[in-house]
Amino acid sequence: MAALRIITDGGTGSSGGSGPDPRRILVIGGGIAGQAVVERVRERDTHVAITLLCGEDRLPYDRVSLSRILAEGEDASVLQLRPEAWYADRGVDVRLGSRVTALDADAGTATLATGEVLTFDRAVLCTGSDAFVPPIPGTDAPGVEVFRGPEDCEAIAAAVTAADAGRAVVIGGGLLGLEAAYGIATLGCPVTVVHLMDRLMERQLDAGAAALLAPAIEGLGVDVLLETSTTSIDAGPDGRVAGLTFADGTALRAGLVVVAVGIKPQAELARASGLAVERGIVVDDRMVTSHPKVLSVGECAQHRGVCHGIVAPIHEQAAVAADTLTGAADSAYLGSIPSAKLKVMGVGLVTAGEASGEREVLVADAGVYRKLVVDAEDRVVGTVLLGDTRGAELLLEAVRSGLEAPDPLALLAAASAATAAELPDAAQICNCNGVCKGDILKAITDGDLGSTQEVVSVTRAGAGCGSCKPLVTELLAHARGGAVEEATYLCPCKKLTRADIAGHVRDGGLQSVSEIATACGAGRDCGACKPGMAYLVSEINGNQHREERHARFINDRVHANIQNDGTFSVVPRMRGGVTTPAELRRIADVADKYDIPTVKVTGGQRIDLLGVRKEDLPAVWEELDMPSGHAYAKSVRTVKTCVGTTHCRFGLGDAMGVGIELETAMEGLYTPAKVKAAVTGCPRNCAEAYVKDIGLVAVEGGWEIYVGGAAGASVRKGDLLATVDTADEAQRVALAFLQYYREHADYLERTYTYMERVGPEAVQAEVLDPEKQEEYLERYRIAKAACDPDPWKERHAPATPKQFASLDTAPALLPVGPPAGAEA
């Protein structure tokens, strides 16, 4: 069968087109601008033939977020704007690695580097820009990079991780340079920003804000050198960059130099084609160049003397260009108000419009700088918010709309106290999913929503990074005219809490998620609560429920963790983080044989094989011959250990031995949310037991049990639940707590949230009371006896047809193992 391929809509350059519509639009350049033009045209006209030529060998991606590749180690594919199928579905003929060498606007032809000639009725030049490299001697030496594309990020990351990188230097203290420097600092490399001007980001900031930004940037481990002009980049004996020399005669050693001083509109093709080009390709208000058949959009275009280098204008220009191309409307582009947001962790900076002007009001405090600029007619024309960006949505909207503010100080003060209620309906609340205030209010009214969780579920505001959730709650409270009833629903569609559904399960003796759905309707509308109900029904029935795979997340259907490209990660159980040479050999052999792209040591002291195809899972498990580590599930994960008394001269307890015992006792049990544990042999705490859901610490003469610790998104030292005499007692307390947590916490509620909610005394009263402790331990033993310690055995006996395969591939055949339970 044919592999996925992109459909070309009819012939090119001939009259053999398949559709009745002979018009053809050629979009030259596959950046954000080219993609935006294609999208806006398709929204207006579903028939016209569109060809998108991408100079790079990749589909359009979000260049604005480039620093994420560097700072967060994201894969370049995460930034791709649309999946391959999107183009096929919309009949867009997209061609990768296609560079145009000549454009004849009169004839309507474009010649590709391959010699192929394409015809067009209208062409749109979206050639973008190149990194501007100033004429400094030495910029061509190996080790000098620009910061423009994913390849540059890879080169920078590679140079930084090279053993002898030493210091990195970023030339340029603008938005791009600071983001590059932050990314490099995140990789653990000392970095210096060298800037020609007397202040950072001089295009967006006034002197006051810039003076506060520099120490904030330095606080991230980035050195800043202002008013420093680089006269040469110097190579070492091996020809690679070794340092820089400055105009004042001083020098700085550096193993990596990143040039990020700005961009240069890419207008060569336009110039060679005889179009009017100044700094960029000159366009009118309809985005048409000096030739009526050719338009231009994005960083390469020069409109009313301005070339924009930020993303917002691109979208505004693309909409006008699409109107011009399709005749859908008679619209005009009148320019954009520049705005910028520094994407650097811990430094809040938002600017829009002018940084100084006729009248300025300013509130400045330690590390905080908030400024509003108003013109002679009292209209808001600019804002700078540093260190405290409260009210940014309100002020950006004020700049955009040119709001009249006779008392700007009052507006600035109001903004810092601005409640969600005062935001305009058009203000964007959730930047991840692009949800405006108006969308949220409408959803609340239309759906009679009563909790934040419901609003998130319906509108998807807050479903991305989650940082806007407090704002969503505020909007909800305002819309409902008071405080929000924050019941945590397990099934928001039917407004049923965990307690409601548990009542149905107990009263009706329900055994499965389907029976719950029949009883009260939960799980039938959106299905989001099905994994939570699957856990609840298994917990109440002591794991003797009827398992239904449709109620489980894909991870629990195939017992592996789904990754961003649809492949899976495999983590075999390695109790206490203790392994053997034989296991390591098998892991190495499997990684070789199945071309596993990444083998990573996890934070939980085991080994993760990433990038495994679903259909390879059974064979990978068979050859690993190790049990599942449950790294994909809401379940007990690992027990991290130090070497304890076995080897350590400070050891007070047998951390490895106790850890392996505890992991064996807990493994295979599902929990409301993941449970990480550790056993450490002395209070030096090498196994980090203080910040685990369950942590055992050997002390002189006994053991301490900590619960509710965390060192992930939240950092919290666990609560000391008890101090006991022996390791056995410590394990009993730990297991009783585990069972208590399994029975009481809301689904997805981690122990640290639970402990904050109920407090340690309530937990101690249950878990440490001898009688109750024994009851918890008894229910733990029942659940443990009925749980499946190694779901990877399903490689021999799949739970569902084609569990690991597609409809059109045969399941891998594996030798049938011993009958289930034979070894128990």
Partner 1 sequence: MAFRSAWVPVGRAEDVPLLEGRSVTVGPQRIAVFRLPSGWAAIDHACPHRGGPLADGIVADRCVTCPLHNRRYDLRTGMQVGGDDRVATYEIREAADGTLELLVPAALMVGTEDLAQSAPLGSGV
**Sites of contact with partner 1 (CB under 8 A):** 1-7, 78, 80, 82-86, 88-89, 91, 433, 443, 458-460, 463-464, 523-528, 530-531, 549-551, 553-554, 557, 562, 564-566, 800-802, 805-808
Cβ proximity to partner 1: between 148 and 557 the closer is 557
Strand order in the sheet with 256-259: 144-146, 256-259, 168-171, 191-194, 222-225
Cβ proximity to partner 1: between 553 and 650 the closer is 553
CB of 273 to partner 1, least distance (A): 34
- Closest by CA position to 773, among listed 721, 715, 697, 719: 721
Cβ proximity to partner 1: between 199 and 614 the closer is 614
Cβ proximity to partner 1: between 180 and 443 the closer is 443
**Which helix (DSSP H) or strand (DSSP E) does residue 440 occupy?**
helix 437-447
CB of 607 to partner 1, least distance (A): 24
How far, in Å, CA of 485 to CA of 478, rounded? 12
- Closest by CA position to 452, among listed 465, 443, 419: 443
Cβ proximity to partner 1: between 147 and 804 the closer is 804
Cα–Cα distance list, 759 to 707, 721, 765 (Å) = 11, 11, 11
Write the single-letter amino acid at 57.
D
Cβ proximity to partner 1: between 3 and 366 the closer is 3
CB of 526 to partner 1, least distance (A): 6
DSSP string, 133-182: ----TTTTSTTEEESSSHHHHHHHHHHHHSTT---EEEE--SHHHHHHHH
Question: Which parts of 49-114 fold into alpha helices (H)?
Answer: 66-72, 84-89
CB of 799 to partner 1, least distance (A): 9
CB 37 within 8 A of CB 126: yes
Cβ proximity to partner 1: between 250 and 809 the closer is 809
**Which helix (DSSP H) or strand (DSSP E) does residue 303 occupy?**
strand 301-303
Cβ proximity to partner 1: between 188 and 447 the closer is 447
How far, in Å, CA of 358 to CA of 364, rounded? 19
CB of 534 to partner 1, least distance (A): 10
Cβ proximity to partner 1: between 523 and 618 the closer is 523
CB of 527 to partner 1, least distance (A): 3
CB of 6 to partner 1, least distance (A): 7
CB 232 within 8 A of CB 136: yes
How far, in Å, CA of 556 to CA of 541, rounded? 19
The DSSP secondary-structure symbol of 467 reads: T
How far, in Å, CA of 741 to CA of 751, rounded? 7
What are the beta bridge partners of residue 85?
A: none
Cβ proximity to partner 1: between 241 and 570 the closer is 570
CB of 809 to partner 1, least distance (A): 9
Q: Is 219 exposed, middle or buried (0-12, 13-18, 19+ CB in 10 A)?
A: exposed
Tokens encoding 677:
């544990």
> CB 552: neighbour CB atoms within 10 A?
19
Cβ proximity to partner 1: between 4 and 713 the closer is 4
CB of 56 to partner 1, least distance (A): 18
C-alpha of 549 from chain center:
28
CB of 800 to partner 1, least distance (A): 5
How far, in Å, CA of 291 to CA of 180, rounded? 38
C-alpha of 28 from chain center:
30
Q: Which residues of 406-428 are buried (b: 16+ CB within 10 A; e: fewer)?
A: eebeebbbbbbebebeebeeebb
Angle, CA 68 vertex, CA 63 and CA 74 arms, to 5°: 105
CB of 558 to partner 1, least distance (A): 8
Tokens encoding 668:
């295979």
Cβ proximity to partner 1: between 32 and 767 the closer is 32
Cβ proximity to partner 1: between 525 and 725 the closer is 525
CB of 789 to partner 1, least distance (A): 24
Tokens encoding 210:
């810039």
Cβ proximity to partner 1: between 167 and 524 the closer is 524
DSSP string, 785-823: HHS-S-GGGGGTS-SSTTTTS-TTSPPPP----SPTTTT
CB of 51 to partner 1, least distance (A): 17
CB of 39 to partner 1, least distance (A): 11
How far does the chain reach from its first CA to its final CA, in angstroms?
A: 45
Hey, is 630 helix, strand or coil? coil
Q: Can you give 395-426 as a three-state secondary structure string?
A: HHHHHHHCCECCCHHHHHHHHHCCCHHHCCCC
